[in-house]
Amino acid sequence: MSQTTTIHGEKISLLRILGPGHVWALGVGIVLVGEYMGWNFSVGKGGAIAALIACWVAGLLYTCVAMIDSEVTSTVAAAGGQYAQAKHIVGPLMAFNVGLFLVFAYTMLEAANAITLGYLIQTVGGMTAMTDAAGEALVLHDKPFIVLTIMFLAWLNYRGVYATLTFNLVITAIAFIAIIILFFAVKPWTTEILRHEELMTGLPYGWIGVIAALHFGLWYYLGIEGTCQAAEEVRSPARSLPLGTMTGIMTLLIAATMTWYICAGLMPWEYLGQAVTPLFDAARFMDSMPLMVLLFIGTIFSTLASANGCINDASRAWFSMARDRYLPQWFGAVHPKYRTPYRSIVFLVPVALLFAYYAPLDQVITFSILSGLLGYTFMTFNVIMFRRKWPIGTIQRGYVHPLHPLPALVLLVLCAATYFAVFLGYGTQLMAMMLFFMIASLWFHFHRYRYVRRGDQFTMPWPRPLGDY
């Protein structure tokens, strides 16, 4: 069901024009940057082997996320993704919080992408040793590129979703191919280049390091759930969303494993654990100019694809909340020409710029991970309530995930372990973010809740559970 917004007396809706390839590009495009940067901080937490364990544990977590999301989103096919799910299944307060989780997770991820792109251009500029007319070395600064990246992608999203996600499809595919080419360039079937036996040091911090590594291990896959944000703009949600999401998580599992194998065999774990652009650094260790150029392009494209998808997803969540009066309705406008939530897109630009300009990369990544983690915790309760309120056979589902409720229980346990991992290194940030969401909940309850039209919240053609809505 497509919902509309009214502008100057005319009802305007989002366009249903996206296919499975666009869904794949949205999910993988957002997440693939996690192979190009950020994941390696897990190496610094517990060593290379701990990072690999964290990679696969996080892969299990996100497989559960993809399974749950595919079922619920293929049924609740509305803009806003998990926010729309919470609105229909749980209630307004949970929906408001889930919407904030989504907005902050994607906006912080967008900021992290811009930081990485700026750093990379600054690094490559330093390597080229360019000089001005007076013969003095030219220094490229990262800040202008951070600003330009966010502004350009916001403009692209402002102009239309089809061109935006088609752009994502192309550059995501190129970034993924770059990882594959680097993988075969290091000749993984020999020990000629890779030095795993020499560089692998076991577990330098023991099993507590493995738990700590789980914090940044999520970065390999964070954002795959973003496929459901465009549910209202997908031609066939029941087919496209499960296919695009599950194909995406398989793609990312392969990419994550290859990335770890390459980097762990080329760089000491102490260096790898603090690198900003590990795959580009891997190409530098190969001392191959063609590979350096390729991985430079791959890193640039992955950050652009991720930031582009993040703007799309964050704006859809913000737009959906405004349309339902959880936020001022002014943000719920659709552009009369481009059919995009343009006010939401523009509003979130300065938020992303503020964090990208002033905050350190690991802090920004942590804020994004924590916001996403809160959303995953919600999903465990959401799917159980969904199955209880509308059992199999009572409503039409596009996809039914197997082994229920096992994926939800596994997801809950892994979320709890990750909270502990974050607390070990970033306890202050964890407490600050929890406090922020508590204050936001109080604001919604005492100020904004009275504007919500409970009778209009339920838009799905389902039988309404007794006592709800």
Report if residue 289 sits inside a domain.
Answer: yes
Does residue 451 lie within any of the structural domains?
no
User: What string of pLDDT tens digits covers the 469 residues of the chain?
Assistant: 344 444 343 445 555 556 666 666 666 777 788 888 888 899 988 888 999 999 889 989 988 888 888 788 777 766 556 787 888 888 888 989 999 998 999 899 889 999 988 888 888 877 766 555 555 656 677 788 899 989 988 888 887 766 666 777 788 788 889 999 999 998 888 888 888 888 887 888 888 999 999 999 888 888 777 666 555 566 666 666 667 777 777 888 888 888 999 998 898 888 988 888 899 999 888 888 899 999 999 998 888 888 887 888 888 888 888 888 888 888 888 888 878 888 999 999 999 999 998 888 888 999 999 999 999 998 898 889 888 888 887 887 777 888 888 999 999 999 999 999 999 888 998 999 999 999 999 999 898 888 887 666 666 777 766 444 4
- Is 444 a member of any domain? no
CA dihedral sign, ordered 8, 13, 17, 20: positive
- Rg of the chain taking only CA atoms, in angstroms: 22
Cβ neighbours around 363 below 10 Å, total: 15
Residue 138 maps to a domain: yes
The Cα–Cα gap between 260 and 49 comes to: 10
Name residue, tokens 């996690």.
34
Read off the pTM: 0.83
Residue 248 lies inside a defined structural domain of this protein: yes
Cβ–Cβ < 8 Å for 337, 158: no
**Residues, the chain, total?**
469
Integer CA distances (angstroms), 14 to 78, 103, 325, 391, in order: 10, 19, 18, 30
Under a CB-based contact definition with an 8 Å cutoff, are residues 164 and 156 in contact? yes
Q: Residue 448: its pLDDT value, please?
A: 86
Closest CA to 285 of 194, 207, 204: 194
> What is the full DSSP assignment across 416-431?
HHHHHHHHHHHHHHHH
Write the CA distances from 258 to 184, 233, 255, 286, 404, integer angstroms.
10, 33, 5, 16, 31
Q: Is the residue at 10 inside a domain? A: no
Whether 61 contacts 214, CB under 8 Å: no
Q: What is the pLDDT of residue 350?
A: 92
pLDDT for res 373: 92
Q: Where would I find the H helices in 3-47?
A: 20-31, 33-36, 41-46
| Separation of alpha carbons 179 and 294, rounded Å | 9
**Which tokens belong to 163?**
């061109």
What is the predicted pLDDT for the residue at 162?
63
DSSP 8-state symbol, 326: S
pLDDT value of position 270: 87
Other Cβ atoms less than 10 A from the Cβ of 188: the count is 16
- Dmax (CA) for the chain in angstroms is 79
pLDDT value at position 128? 66
Is 77 a domain residue? yes
Q: Which domain holds residue 406?
A: 26-421
Distances (CA, A) of 224 to 62, 179, 219, 268, 447: 8, 19, 10, 30, 33
Domain count, the chain: 1
Burial grade of 291 (CB within 10 A; 0-12, 13-18, 19 or more): buried
CB atoms within 10 A of CB 271: 17
Q: What is the pLDDT of residue 205?
A: 85
9 Cβ contact partners less than 8 Å away, ≥ 6 residues apart: none
Rounded to a whole number of angstroms, the distance between the first and last alpha carbons of the chain is 18
Q: Is residue 140 part of a domain?
A: yes
pLDDT, position 192? 84
**What are the beta bridge partners of residue 131?**
137
What CATH number is associated with residue 304?
1.20.1740.10
